[in-house]
Amino acid sequence: MAKIKKVVLAYSGGLDTSVILKWLMVEHGYEVITVTADLGQEDDLDGVEPKARKTGASKVYIEDLRAEFARDYIYPMMRAGAIYEGRYLMGTSIARPLIAKRLVEIARAEGAQAIAHGATGKGNDQVRFELAINALAPDLTVIAPWREWDLMSRTALTEFAERHGIEVNASNKHYSMDRNMLHCSFEGGELEDPWEEPGPESYIMAVPVEKAPDEPEYITIDFEKGDAVALNDRRLSPMEMVMELNRIAGKHGIGRLDMVENRFVGMKSRGVYETPGGTVLHVAHQDLEGICLDREALAVRDTIMPRYAAAVYNGFWFSPEREAMQALIDKSQEGVTGSVRLKLYKGTAWPVGRYSPHSLYCHDLATFEECATYDHKDAAGFIRLQGLRIRGYADRVKRFHG
């Protein structure tokens, strides 16, 4: 492996990654190129380049990845109906493979030998970043300072920053947060006690339900092959769709989740997640599938969904199993075209109507009125056949117990 001279660093401009930038230079003598991804987190990124250069970066990339993120990562995951442990829509998980992909692309373009990240040794993100890099560029070295250095506290990081002239933001964030266009996550603070109610600072994308409007709002989402393409008859790109639904759903307090989850590394972690637009998309898509997907096709999709969700959560986006599952899922979505009307009110999105040109719903069969295409007498034979094994089992039990 080539000697490391140049490193590409995933850089946010915060305390941790600023210290990492200087640490790579001071402790190892590396030339450091920073990469900051704009994923719709709505942060002011204007100060990122001046700070990175002042800290010592030789080159600064600020990448607008919003459109690619929505189109190639969020939407495929939404088609899969993927939720982790039955609740979590994985807003952080799905962003990591895209960031890693861009880090690799820039490392190749710049002739770098290594990629560095600021994920800690306790979390899932170190796994997600590094598995993605392994898949895309196994020859590149990965540097994870939190697993190497002795700066193991906020105090130690601050002291290092002050010694090296790194500007330290005086405001002390109450939570460890990660935000992009799909969600915002909160960890730390009072959330480390699973019994404590989340504080008021854990509301950014969605209002508290008590402050949501007292009147419901109705919206209609149109889908084509499993992808949302129009909102209230207005065509939108995937990025526009997610961001507009965030605005609408957020004001109704939709998409908040407080849960204790199982991290891939083995520990349990309590987090609060806000996913307003993603929650509405998930609810609408799931509802439309009810009239578009064949029963057994839906059952197969639902069978693999937990495996798909685990692949995303655990960092296996660029894996043969996720790609194979995606192909099956995308095939199942070919007929998922139509419209869903939803009622948004006080933290909840209810589907109240759905239509599809590919609907498998047959009014003549479902009606309680007289139906010429269904003979009730046929059900007797169906039940007799279904009961063969049950009757056989009952006879065996009877013989066994005398």
Per-chain mean pLDDT for the chain: 93
Would you say the CATH fold of 177-293+336-355 matches that of 6-74+86-172? Answer: no
16 is catalytic: yes
* pLDDT confidence tier of residue 190, bands split at 50, 70 and 90: very high
202/397: higher pLDDT: 202
18 is catalytic: no
pLDDT digits 0-9 by tens, 105-134: 999 999 999 999 999 888 899 999 999 999
* pLDDT confidence tier of residue 170, bands split at 50, 70 and 90: low
The predicted model gives 6-20 an average pLDDT of 95
Q: Residue 402's pLDDT is what?
A: 62
pLDDT digits 0-9 by tens, 330-361: 999 999 999 999 999 999 999 999 999 999 98
- Active-site residue among 12, 16, 179, 270? 16
- Active-site residue among 38, 43, 58, 176? 176
- Domain 177-293+336-355 top-level CATH class: alpha beta
pLDDT at 401 over 90: no
Q: What percent of the chain shows pLDDT beyond 70?
A: 97
pLDDT digits 0-9 by tens, 225-258: 999 999 999 999 999 999 999 999 999 999 999 9
Q: Residue 3's pLDDT is what?
A: 86
pLDDT at 172 over 70: no
3-state secondary structure the chain: CCCCCEEEEECCCCHHHHHHHHHHHHHHCCEEEEEEEECCCCCCCCCHHHHHHHHCCCEEEEEECHHHHHHHHHHHHHHCCCCECCCECCCCHHHHHHHHHHHHHHHHHHCCCEEECCCCCCCCHHHHHHHHHHHHCCCCEEECHHHCCCCCCHHHHHHHHHHCCCCCCCCCCCCEEEECCCCEEEECHHHHCCCCCCCHHHCCCCCCHHHCCCCCEEEEEEEECCEEEEECCEECCHHHHHHHHHHHHHHCCCCEEEEEEECCCCCEEEEEEECHHHHHHHHHHHHHHHHHCCHHHHHHHHHHHHHHHHHHHHCCCCCHHHHHHHHHHHHHHHHCCEEEEEEEECCEEEEEEEECCCCCCCHHHHCCCCCCCCCCCHHHHHHHHHCHHHHHHHHHHHHHCC
Q: Residue 109's pLDDT is what?
A: 98
Q: Residue 285's pLDDT is what?
A: 98
* pLDDT confidence tier of residue 99, bands split at 50, 70 and 90: very high
pLDDT at 313 over 80: yes
pLDDT at 179 over 90: yes
The predicted model gives 45-73 an average pLDDT of 96
pLDDT digits 0-9 by tens, 262-278: 999 889 999 999 999 99
96 is catalytic: yes
Per CATH, the homologous superfamily of domain 6-74+86-172 is HUPs (3.40.50.620)
pLDDT at 194 over 90: yes
- Active-site residue among 12, 93, 125, 227? 125
pTM of the model: 0.93
- Active-site residue among 96, 128, 179, 354? 96
Q: Where are the domains of the chain?
A: 6-74+86-172, 177-293+336-355, 363-400
399 is catalytic: no
* pLDDT confidence tier of residue 319, bands split at 50, 70 and 90: very high
Q: Residue 1's pLDDT is what?
A: 55
pLDDT at 393 over 90: no
